[in-house]
Amino acid sequence: MSSTTQPPRGHPVLGALQTVAVGLDELADANLWSLSDAEMLDVRMQLQGLSSRLTSATLRATRELDVRDAAVSVGAATLVAWLVNVLRVHPGEAGREVRLAAALDHRLPATAAALADGHITSAAVTVIADTDRALATTATAVERAQAEALLVEHAQQLNVRGLQAAALHVQHRLDPERGERMAQEEEVQVARRELRLIQQPDGSARVAGHLDKEAATLLRTGLDPLAKPKAQEGARDRRSAAQRSADALVELVELALRSGELPQQSGQPVQLVVAIDLADLQQRLETTGAGDLDLGLALSAGAVRRLACDAQIIPAILGSRSEPLDVGRAVRTAPPALRRLLELRDGGCAFPGCDRPPRWSQVHHIEHWADGGATSRDNCVLLCGAHHRTVHHHGWEVSIGADRLPDFVPPAWIDPQRRARRNIRARQPARHLPGPRRFRPAATVTPIPRN
């Protein structure tokens, strides 16, 4: 018998926790940068499984405390109060933890086992538990067990959104009255639908409101393709997701305005009344001028020029004392026939690197109408909303080349030599378009056949 006295062994649970703590210390000191991409992906997958197993152990411990009333024995009013005040868990999360621990212990053995094995995530467990609670009054115990087993299987293959959809299908099958209740819920959602533009002192607006699930889905469907990141000049899109969504909403509205299906204005681009001082009009809206919209908002001269490219403008001429001198007629700057020619020539936004289709593009005057520019194919080009703003406000210049296609000259900070660039769609001359009689192509350019 050894004379060496062994220290008393602690409870296996405490020993296991100490082992886990040692492993986490080693992991915290590890150099993740030395792993290959494949190894790093594997590490993240293993951590996800360990996180689920730790969540399982946590919920089991919470359930044991709840059954024993251990928190009450030390003076806490409830276990939730102990979690909130001792472990500083959020009150709502503490309540959900206690309820979920009870559900796993009482009613969801398959879910508890899958979580303990690290096969499903805690988010999936919440979906399964919520579904089981929703079926409590409409399904039998056998049906609920079958539903749980099916959802546990789905949870190992689907993401959370997919699992939520599968759970809804299960509820519909086991609750024949749910469809009617859902229809009533949807009517309530539609009745709550609202949208408010809260005007700010600087003329901008803050958006607030509520959409029912169908309207929200429609909006996301329209925004998603427009909100994708767009690289410009080889650089990644630096806009945040929220900024991209806001820009996408503006593009979606502009697309609707040009659709030809809106009431009253027949889908024409927005009709504006711009009040302009006579002196500013005579100066052709140089950068020192400004205009006032009929909504009472001031716009810079550059913004007025950009809006005038593809909108109906009603000029209200003001005298020196701001008295109205004349109100002109609304004029559509780009008639449908011209727009069709531009769509054939440019194929959409003509800005280099842009792939926006024609229906998402606006007509831009190369020489502005206030400067005497003609509304013609040789003075117009299609630009999407983002690149229309770029051309007007960020130093890009547009011209029509010898082959009758648009060239874009970047500002010097992008290219000190300011070499012209083109969209790849415009590399070949648009031979199917007739040219004006005054056009004389250079000797090195194949003449464009006339109709």
- Is the model's pLDDT at 128 over the cut of 60? yes
The pLDDT of residue 286 is 45
Asked whether the predicted pLDDT for residue 447 surpasses 50, the reply is no
pLDDT over 90 percentage in the chain: 29
- Give me the residues paired with residue 315 across strands: 274
Question: Angle at the Cα of 279 (from 277 to 280), degrees rounded to 5?
Answer: 65
Q: What is the pLDDT of residues 182-238, one digit of tens each?
A: 667 777 778 888 888 888 887 788 888 988 877 887 788 888 888 888 766 556 788
For residue 117, what are the contacts with CB-CB under 8 A and spacing of at least 6? Answer: 53
Contacts of 174 (CB under 8 A, 6+ apart): 135, 138, 139, 143, 147
Q: What is the mean pLDDT of residues 49-58?
A: 95
61-65, 126-130, 208-212, range with the lowest pLDDT: 208-212
Q: What percent of the chain has pLDDT over 70?
A: 71
Structure token pair of residue 369? 């109408």
Confidence of residue 92 (pLDDT cuts 50, 70, 90): very high
What is the pairing mode between strands 397-400 and 406-409?
antiparallel
**Cα 198 from chain centroid (whole Å):** 21
Model confidence pLDDT, tens digit, residues 100-125: 999 999 999 999 999 999 999 999 99
At residue 200, the pLDDT reads 84
CA angle 268, 369, 336 (to 5 degrees): 35
Q: Which ranges of 135-240 does DSSP label H, i.e. alpha helix? A: 141-155, 160-174, 178-191, 213-223
Q: Give me 100's structure tokens.
A: 């979920």
What's 383's DSSP letter? E
Distance CA 378, CA 268 (A): 23
Which residues, at least 6 apart from 223, have a Cβ–Cβ distance to it below 8 Å? 245, 248, 249, 252
User: What are 120's strand-pairing partners?
Assistant: none
Task: Give the integer Cα–Cα distance in Å for 302 and 296.
Answer: 18
**What is the spatial distance between Cα 268 and Cα 340, in angstroms, rounded to a whole number?**
15
- Position 298 pLDDT exceeds 80: no
Tell me which H or E stretch contains 407. strand 406-409
The 3-state DSSP class for residue 59 equals helix
- pLDDT for the residue numbered 333: 56
Q: What is the pLDDT of residue 276?
A: 53
What residue segments make up the domains of the chain, in order of their start?
40-176, 194-230+239-257, 269-332, 335-451
pLDDT, greater one: 285 or 275: 275
Lowest mean pLDDT among 22-26, 83-87, 153-157, 273-277: 273-277
Would you state the pLDDT for residue 258?
Answer: 65
pLDDT in tens, 362-404: 888 888 766 667 778 888 899 988 788 888 888 889 999 888 8
Four-residue CA torsion sign, 133, 136, 141, 142: negative
Checking 47-53 for CB contacts under 8 A at 24+ apart, the result is 48/118, 48/121, 49/118, 49/119, 50/118, 51/121, 51/122, 52/115, 52/118, 52/119, 52/120, 52/121, 52/122, 53/115, 53/116, 53/117, 53/118
3-class DSSP assignment, residue 299: strand
pLDDT at 364: 87
Q: CB of 195 within 8 A of CB of 207?
A: yes
Average pLDDT of span 300-314 = 57
Check whether 99 has a pLDDT greater than 90. Answer: yes
Q: What are phi and psi of 196, to 5 degrees?
A: -125, 135
3-state secondary structure of 389: helix
| pLDDT at residue 275 is higher than 70 | no
Q: Where are the alpha helices (DSSP H) in 268-335?
A: 278-282, 301-309
Amino acid symbol at 5: T
Helix (H) or strand (E) holding 131: helix 122-134
Contact 382, 365 (CB under 8 A): no
Rounded to whole angstroms, the Cα distance separating 216 from 225 reads: 15
Q: How confident is the model at residue 149 (pLDDT cuts 50, 70, 90)?
A: very high
At position 23, the amino acid (one-letter code) is: G
pLDDT value of residue 47: 94
Q: Is the pLDDT of residue 287 over 90?
A: no
DSSP letters spanning 191-212: HT-EEEEEE-TTS-EEEEEE--
Of the two residues 343 and 69, the one the predictor is more confident about is: 69
Full-model pTM: 0.49
pLDDT (0 to 100) of residue 323: 47
Over 50: is that where the pLDDT of 445 sits? no
Does position 251 have pLDDT exceeding 90, yes or no? no
Average pLDDT score over residue span 270-282: 52
Choice between 435 and 356, residue whose per-residue pLDDT is larger: 356
Q: What's the pLDDT tens digit per position in 1-45?
A: 444 444 445 788 888 888 898 999 999 988 999 999 999 999 999
Alpha helices, H only, 335-384: 336-346
Q: What is the pLDDT of residue 449?
A: 41
Contact call for residues 405 and 345 (beta carbons, < 8 A): yes
Residue 414 to residue 218: CA distance in whole angstroms? 39
How much is the mean pLDDT over the chain?
77
pLDDT confidence band for 282 (50 / 70 / 90):
very low
Q: Looking at the predicted structure, is the pLDDT value of residue 254 above 80?
A: no
**Nearest CA among 214, 207, 203, 53 for reference residue 119:** 53
